[in-house]
Amino acid sequence: MSLRIVVTVKFVPDATGDRHFADDLTVDRDDVDGLLSELDEYAVEQALQISENSDDDVEVTVLTVGPEDAKDALRKALSMGADKAIHVEDDDLHGTDAIGTSLVLAKAIEKAGYDLVVSGMASTDGTAGIVPALLAERLGVPQVTLLSEVLVEDGTVKGRRDGDAASELLEASLPAVVSVTDQSGEARYPSFKGIMAAKKKPVESWDLSDLDLEAEEVGLEGAWTAVESATERPARTAGTIVKDEGEGGKQLAEFLAGQKFI
């Protein structure tokens, strides 16, 4: 038996940097450094754990859609222990929305071949968290999403989904799309050996023609949503700051009463 796992990852602008929009209202990627989305590290980790705990022959492929620099995100995942990487890169992809991204990812996943797709719960830039569900819809396979625990055995994926109202146990047959939360388990740091090994691992580059996609199906023109304006939030006016000299709690109560919260 063999198990082919594809982990979808995203190269995102560093949230601790100064993020901006470009003139075409897409994210200005020149303005701030990028990195592997932190929430995708949990997906890589779970894929590696599934691989390590399996008696089957498991291959872990990391897949990203993004600009040239997105190779850095793939390299990080490879240095954590993934076996190979696929980079979908094409100038016509600039400005692609979530629906379009799910189209490109689904085509690439089908071309790569898969039994299990593992994604993070959301990207740390867009934060919508809808791509895993869109992938399941496009691929026509079960979605087993937002798992804090995941287990794969005998062609079945099981997991626990902790929602607001209830904690649910889920089960589906493979192939399936899984997404994992930041509660699924701390992601490992790449070892020196892992970093050295990653340099020799294969990274395939595909463009739109490799996926039988046309430029007008993706990109800013092909997006099903349009951003009309982006405005920087005005800096907050400086608030009142007091030093507690024994009456800090009472002073705060006075402020809250003045604002009608008490």
Q: Which of residues 231-260 bind other proteins (CB under 8 A)?
A: 231-233, 236, 239-244, 246-253, 255-257, 259
Nearer to other proteins, 163 or 200 (CB): 163
**34 and 14 Cβ atoms separated by less than 8 Å:** yes
Min CB(196)–other proteins separation in Å: 30
Min CB(235)–other proteins separation in Å: 9
Could you give phi then psi for residue 144, rounded to 5 degrees? Answer: -125, 85
Min CB(79)–other proteins separation in Å: 22
Min CB(122)–other proteins separation in Å: 8
**Residue 25 interacting with other proteins (CB under 8 A):** yes
Angle at 219 between CA 214 and CA 224, to 5 degrees: 100
Could you give phi then psi for residue 107, rounded to 5 degrees? Answer: -60, -45
**Exposure b/e, 72-84, CB count within 10 A at least 16 = b:** bbbbbbbbbbbbb
According to CB under 8 A, which residues from 44 to 83 bind other proteins? none
**67 and 89 Cβ atoms separated by less than 8 Å:** yes
**Residue 26 interacting with other proteins (CB under 8 A):** no
Site string for other proteins, 213-232 (x = CB under 8 A): ----------xxxxxxxxxx
**Residue 1 interacting with other proteins (CB under 8 A):** no
Positive or negative torsion for Cα 101, 97, 79, 174: negative
Taking the C-alpha atoms of residue 10 and residue 127, their distance in angstroms, rounded to an integer, is 12
Nearer to other proteins, 196 or 242 (CB): 242
Nearer to other proteins, 24 or 244 (CB): 244
* Residue showing tokens 């904690």: 167
Min CB(252)–other proteins separation in Å: 5
Nearer to other proteins, 20 or 111 (CB): 20
Min CB(222)–other proteins separation in Å: 9
According to CB under 8 A, which residues from 77 to 136 bind other proteins? 97-99, 102, 121, 124-125, 127-130, 132-134, 136
Report cis status (omega within 30 of 0) of the bond before 175.
Answer: yes
User: Largest Cα–Cα distance of the chain, in whole Å?
Assistant: 70
Could you give phi then psi for residue 20, rounded to 5 degrees? Answer: -140, 170
**Residue 193 interacting with other proteins (CB under 8 A):** no
According to CB under 8 A, which residues from 142 to 171 bind other proteins? 142-146, 148, 158, 161-171
Could you give phi then psi for residue 78, rounded to 5 degrees? Answer: -65, -40
Amino acid identity, residue 62?
Answer: V
